[in-house]
Chains A and B, each alone.
Chain A
Amino acid sequence: MGAQKGIQRANEIYRDRSRRVLELKADGKEIIGYLCIYPVIEMITAAGMVPYRLFGDIREPKTKVEACLPTVVCPYLRSVMDIGLKERYNFLDGVVMAHSCEVAEKLAHIWKTYIDQKYAFFLDVPHTIHDAAREQFRDLINDFKLSLEKYTGSPITDEMIVDAINAHNQQRSLVKELYDLKKSDKPKISGVETVKVLMAIMSLPVEEGNELLEEVITEVKGREGGDNDDKKRLLLWGSIIDDTALFELIEDVGADVVIDDTCVGTRPFFPDVELTDDPLVGLANRYLVDIKCPRTFKEANFGEKKKDYMEDLESRFGYIKQLADDWNVDGIILHSLRYCDIHGYDIPGLKDYFESVGIRSIYIEPDYTEAALAPLRTRIEAFLETLD
């Protein structure tokens, strides 16, 4: 994979995600697949293995999954399972899945039933951020650590965990630097390119991902500046989008996603892990409290006796407004995959909230197929017109 650098290399890995890990595997590295953003990847890195994010494939017809997951569940998860059943994830030595959402939790058990891998761990994640829940999550991360130690036969020391946290935190600050390049009127890197880079680094060991990010940032900084000055600047919120198709469509109709709150975009990268005396405490706080995914139950004031609706919305969604302000967006696309409960229930509240702060938004609900995107074109075009 030598000669390619920066964006070109990211594109290459985006197109052929497993290529690099297969080389590493040939050199004796173990590769652990992980689903969604709740498996604590620092632990995989600390155990000397490569965390490799499991994605689906919107371009691939789901032909095998019918036998074990019904159509009424998250189509992304069905796609991941379909690919697994087609043995395209057979290069993985193991997987870790988490209770990120209900169906993901169930998928962990189905995966383990049908796909024989050397290692499988399911990480439960509490639903609330109560003190007891944080402590519980710290202990659950410790269970994960113990199970990795049992699998590898070697202890994972606090030092190893701290090193892994530092490496991943470095990755997070590089990703933030990359997003910063999208703040200007002429963003130097597009939404499409950003997704490719992020999906590429989630397919590499953290250090290689960091190298790639540094190359990308240098390359992008050296660019003249995009042709985006008359494009509408959008924020994209919602459930997983692990393909460039939607971003391409948006670019095609004269807009660009300059910032997002999705679980391939900023969500897994923006919050850092704080280094605490017991590193597992910092990890628990980061994953349970700091990651802003609607799967965790949050409220304005813990133990409030009367709910103030607007205050509640502000506390839950205020950070999105902050992103919208910092990246100077013209409008917001709310995206919830068909059958995604945890994102779907937030839609009316999000609409109320953005209306109250004067930002226009549109809701889309694609079903994780390329075909479903086509009809969105006119809707998004019409939405852009309202932003003038």
Chain B
Amino acid sequence: MAKEERKKVINRPKGMYPLRSRIEDVYKLTVKAMQAGKPTAWSMVNWWEGDSIIMAMGIEAVYPENYGAVCAAMGAAQSYLERSDAEGFPSHMCGYARNCIGYAAEMKDLGEIPPDAPLGGMPKPMLLMAAGTLCDTRYKWFQSLGRYLDAPVWTLEIPQPGVEEALQEGVHERNIKFMVKELKELVKFVESLVKKKMDWAKLEEIVTDILEMNRIWYETNELRKKRPCPMHSRDFWTCMTGCLYPAGDLKELIRLYQNLHDEVQKRVDENVGAVENEKYRLVFGELPPWHSLKIFDQLAERGWNFVIESWAYHPPKPLDLSGISDPLEKMARFTYQWLTGYYNDAYENKEWWGYFAYPYLEYAKEYQCDGALLHPLITCRTATNHLYLVQDRLMKKYKVPSLVVEGDIVDLKLFDPADTLRKAEAFEETMEHNRELRKKEGLEW
């Protein structure tokens, strides 16, 4: 058996594994918490501002977006998708949402967690915490869950200004104030829901932990600028979950992220790459095909290393919050920084789509990418509508070509790995050619 086992082409850091098993633990914990009568919530990725509050109030959160990825990866999504279609929701909608709607419909029928639900399932929530950020689906989906659940929905607000508009006088501070006001309302609402007062000291501690966790994770990803890149996108996706969907013991999470960081640092010091012969450095655009992650091993065999990926799942650029005492304001500033942290640079470069699209330009340059693999998602507009712009800007500005391969995050019928590999082979020539062009233009890589 051991003989036949092929050497893993992607050198995965050991520190990734405990972070991965935490996902499982968190679901189990939430189910247990529910059984023990603890309040539970379904939450959307909200870039920390809402999470910190419900955590401080002792509400256990599960994340149906992440659960969609889990169901997809474990091959359990199809029946939920079909159920959602049968309920009358248009089938071109978000795979995560359809997975969740199908799940909720079944849970309602059965009166309990569907017995075959992966990882013990998502327990019935007392609160649905939605966010309007980046995606219409996200709050419309939770609103439409009213068909199956009697939990109230709270929709978080995060302003989404344009690059120029954000830089109008006074706008930054006003947006922060708006976010803080909204968070105060959320605190009041959750207080009335769980019938207890906010423990501000606990919130402060949680916020501090979230910031620290993000700091370490940010720095880990900075290390990936090194040639050869020490950590592959696959590990980013596995490990981002802890940071993006904070739950459970944050101190423990920090420790796990620090271990991972140290391991990646060691690789940097020892010139160890995530892929043995790094021939091509690539940026990956948007969410991966969770059900077909093996494709990255196949590409790694060809020397493709994925050195950086989509902006939305990364921590914000560093921000000094030492002068801010109110934890709500700290959180608001941090979340706003995540969205607008690239705006000043984007403005200087006259790039008008300052989040999602512009960061790729910085990534390509700083991580010295030879190409981009862009994955438009048939059921997700949000993760898709910037990709053609990205393709165009990357080429025009830095002669970095893109390979565009359509697929989906949940519906495995929509991704064709064999075709992707064929295209990848041909794309290598394009990357080589553009490498020459970049040299001629005097670009650094």
Contact = CB atoms under 8 A, between A and B. Distances in A.
A378 to B, nearest CB: 20
B150 A130 contact: no
Interface string A121-133: 1111011101011
Contacts of B147: 309, 348-349, 352
Contacts of B161: 122, 124
B185 interface: yes
Nearest to B381: A73
A275 B152 CA distance: 34
A143 interface: yes
B165 A297 contact: no
Contacts, number: 177
Given A67-B392, A113-B351, A305-B192, A127 B155 contact: yes
A139 interface: yes
Interface stretch (B7-15, B50-58, B82-90, B317-325): B82-90
Interface string A343-379: 0111111011000000000010100000000000000
Contact of B353 (A110, A349, A351): A110
B65 to A, nearest CB: 15
Contacts of A123: 165
Which of A68, A70, A338 has most B Cβ within 10 Å?
A70
B146 A109 contact: no
Q: How large is the interface on B (under 10, 10 to 19, 20 to 34, 35 or more residues)?
A: 35 or more
Nearest to B161: A124
Interface in B368-425: 376-382, 384-389, 392
Interface residues of A, number: 62
A72 B286 CA distance: 15
A148 B182 CA distance: 29
Contacts of A194: none
Contact of B385 (A69, A309, A349): A69
B352 interface: yes
Among A136, A294, A295, A308, the one with the most B-chain Cβ atoms within 10 Å of its Cβ is: A136
B250 to A, nearest CB: 28
Contacts of A130: 157, 182, 185
B386 A128 contact: no
A99 B139 contact: no
A146 B174 contact: no
A345 B140 contact: yes
B168 interface: yes
Interface stretch (B40-48, B128-136, B276-284): B128-136
B427 interface: no
Interface in B182-208: 182, 185, 189, 192-193
B138 to A, nearest CB: 9
A109 B162 contact: yes
Contacts of B192: 303, 305
A362 to B, nearest CB: 12
Contact of B151 (A101, A132, A307, A348): A307
Contacts of B164: 122
B392 A68 contact: yes
B113 interface: no
A183 interface: no
Nearest to B132: A127
B153 A341 contact: no
A106 interface: yes
A109 B356 CA distance: 11
Contacts of A112: 162, 352
A309 B353 contact: no
A344 B92 CA distance: 9
Contact of B193 (A305, A347, A351): A305
B90 A307 contact: no
B388 A349 contact: no
A295 to B, nearest CB: 7
Contacts of B356: 106
A122 B162 contact: yes
Contacts of A73: 381, 384-385
Contacts of B437: none
B181 A132 contact: yes
B160 interface: yes
A103 interface: yes
Given A121-B165, A346-B140, A109 B352 contact: yes
Contacts of B146: 307, 309, 312, 349
A224 interface: no
Given A305-B193, A307-B150, A128 B144 contact: no
A156 interface: no
A363 B87 CA distance: 13
Contacts of A388: none
Interface string B229-243: 000000000000000
B54 to A, nearest CB: 15
A136 to B, nearest CB: 4
Interface of B: 87-90, 92-94, 97, 130, 132, 134-137, 139-141, 143-144, 146-147, 149-153, 155, 157, 159-165, 168, 171, 174-175, 178, 181-182, 185, 189, 192-193, 351-354, 356-357, 376-382, 384-389, 392
Interface of A: 66-70, 72-74, 99, 101-103, 105-106, 108-110, 112-113, 121-124, 126-128, 130, 132-133, 135-136, 139, 143, 146-147, 294-295, 297, 299, 303-309, 312, 336, 338-339, 341-342, 344-349, 351-352, 363, 365
Given A109-B162, A309-B147, A344-B93, 14 more contacts: A72-B92, A72-B384, A101-B136, A106-B385, A109-B357, A110-B353, A113-B352, A124-B160, A124-B161, A126-B159, A130-B182, A130-B185, A297-B130, A348-B144
